[in-house]
A and B are shown apart, each in its own frame.
Chain A
């Protein structure tokens, strides 16, 4: 599947594998875009944009189903072995992670709509920073998948730490807001949920990176520290 890889005796088989890979990359691009827009709808207080993210999640769901069906079909018809088997199990899992990332982006958009109706609590600083890191993680984990590059995958696994730290920091900060002034509790909780969604997104990106390591080495590292 990589450039120097030998072709299958069946050219159609190669095409099917390539198609799954392309669709996953496209799905990855859609989810990344969804995160970007959902955060933009929050920062720019643009609820129309937020509603667009929620409707567009439907597209992500359809693609998720299409990819899964292609993978199942390939499993049934080709009975892949070795690297092909690892590729296809990885593809199925990555697909699941990306679909969940799409859902998280839609969640963020829902919270943005609510937050946009309230006075802004404070300027958003850590949230866009988190979103930027999370998007980078998705992009890099998919690059690692395409390039079969475990170094890049390992870097993604380390990035997750930063997100966790930022998430903790946001929680602590919002907690003081809530203690200070009970009227700020609702908005604070919504922002906490946005932060939590971003933290989940980075977990999914880490999950993708874990699968890339499995695909390349055959080792399941999901429960090991990076």
Chain B
């Protein structure tokens, strides 16, 4: 067992990332704290999603990609050959920009993953569905329609279902890539409250283009530009008094 400072869950050391010959991330070194919300911000194409996918080996699914440097999760390099990517993705869940429920019932959306990983007992599954939906603050809205298709839910409900689906895998970390960009302000507020609630038990890393959202939900913020980490600091400092000019230009709307 490799031990780490107990509040650091992810440690990136001089990470470079390539799509074929194009370098998307350059020399990224940063730590993520446990049970914290960290926001990743920056202009389109700066590599936020790439970094997020790197943290649970989702980039492995894309041909011709290459990682350099170290990405330690609880002190262990997740890119070591003896690590099982499926197990990594179970412990490090992901919620995407567009809600992407499976075209199945609400119930089966939640139980799909746990079934694959061995939970078969009906009572256990029912409990898991209830717990996950409650955690995602969706239970009251869907408890009577669990057998209806997930596709009949509203966008905001679908997104919370996807969060419930990720939580059902009992992950340690939730990666969220612009989770509210397709939602109305009310659903957005619900998800933001949910993030606040979830951070007690989970580590959350969120990519967002909504500056106010980053300011509201996160404790740490990293600003990326052209594949580099430009500034990484407490969110309050980034939004009131950033130290790097590029960060300031970006968050005050003086970019491009």
Contact = CB atoms under 8 A, between A and B. Distances in A.
B256 A81 contact: no
Most chain B CB neighbours (cut-off 10 Å) among A10, A13, A81, A84: A81
B239 A81 contact: yes
B251 A82 contact: yes
A82 B253 contact: no
A7 B254 contact: yes
A89 to B, nearest CB: 9
Contacts of B215: 81
A13 B240 contact: no
Contacts of B21: none
Contact of A8 (B241, B242, B254): B254
A82 B241 contact: yes
A10 B242 contact: no
B240 A79 contact: no
B212 interface: yes
Nearest to B249: A6
Given A86-B241, A218-B240, A80 B252 contact: yes
A83 B251 CA distance: 10
Given A83-B248, A85-B239, A85-B240, A6 B254 contact: yes
Contacts of A79: 211-212
A13 B253 contact: yes
| Range of interface residues on A (Cβ < 8 Å) | 10 to 19
B255 A81 contact: no
Interface in B205-256: 211-212, 215, 238-242, 247-249, 251-256
SS of B interface (majority): helix
Contacts of B211: 79, 81
Given A79-B211, A82-B248, A10 B241 contact: no
Contacts of B254: 5-9
Contact of A82 (B212, B252, B255, B256): B252
Contacts of A78: 253
Contacts of B252: 8, 80-84
Contacts of A86: 240-241
Contacts of A8: 252-254
Contacts of A6: 249, 254
B188 to A, nearest CB: 14
Interface string A81-108: 1111110000000000000000000000
B253 A218 contact: no
A8 B254 CA distance: 4
A92 to B, nearest CB: 15
A5 B253 CA distance: 12
B248 A9 contact: no
A81 B212 CA distance: 9
A85 B249 CA distance: 13
Contacts of A5: 254
Nearest to B241: A218
A7 B249 CA distance: 9
A83 B248 CA distance: 7
A189 to B, nearest CB: 46
Given A79-B211, A82-B241, A9 B255 contact: yes
A148 to B, nearest CB: 14
B169 to A, nearest CB: 35
Contacts of A7: 254
A51 to B, nearest CB: 45
Interface string A14-40: 000000000000000000000000000
B253 A9 contact: yes
22 contacts: A6-B249, A6-B254, A7-B254, A9-B253, A9-B254, A9-B255, A78-B253, A79-B211, A79-B212, A81-B215, A81-B240, A81-B252, A82-B238, A82-B239, A82-B240, A82-B241, A82-B247, A82-B248, A82-B251, A83-B252, A85-B239, A218-B240
Interface of B: 211-212, 215, 238-242, 247-249, 251-256
Given A7-B254, A81-B215, 11 more contacts: A5-B254, A9-B253, A9-B255, A10-B253, A13-B253, A81-B211, A81-B239, A82-B238, A82-B240, A82-B242, A83-B252
Shortest beta-carbon contacts, A-B, top 7: A218-B241, A6-B254, A81-B251, A84-B252, A82-B248, A8-B253, A81-B239
